[in-house]
Amino acid sequence: MKTIATVLSEFATENEIKDEFIFAQLLEIWKNHFPLSMQKNIQLVLYKNNILFMQSESSAWKQEVQLRLNEIINILNTKIGTKLVYKINI
């Protein structure tokens, strides 16, 4: 019989692999469906627990993401085929 710690460890590992797979899909969507100027100035950093983490050196581009937040989330979820991104942190 497995201990609770073993089961939790296996579950965490499975979720990490799942998140990494989803992140790879999001990167591909980002490259294929968003403007090149946006791709050059905003980097996708991590996907974890239905949150997509982005990074930008430019405050103007951070503001652009904030203004288009719902649009970006909708495009990503539509292209991936299900609602996986609930929030974006930049």
pLDDT tens digit sequence for 1-47: 777 666 545 654 666 778 888 999 999 999 999 999 999 999 999 99
pTM as predicted: 0.82
pLDDT in the model for residue 67: 96
Coil vs helix vs strand at 89: strand
CA 52/CA 64 separation, integer angstroms? 16
Q: Which of 34, 85, 86 has the alpha carbon at shortest distance from 64?
A: 34
Q: Give the alpha-carbon dihedral of 39, 57, 63, 73, to 10 degrees.
A: 40
pLDDT in the model for residue 1: 72
Domain that holds residue 56: 4-89
CATH number of domain containing 81: 3.30.300
Q: Are 42 and 78 in contact (CB under 8 A)?
A: no
| Total number of domains in the chain | 1
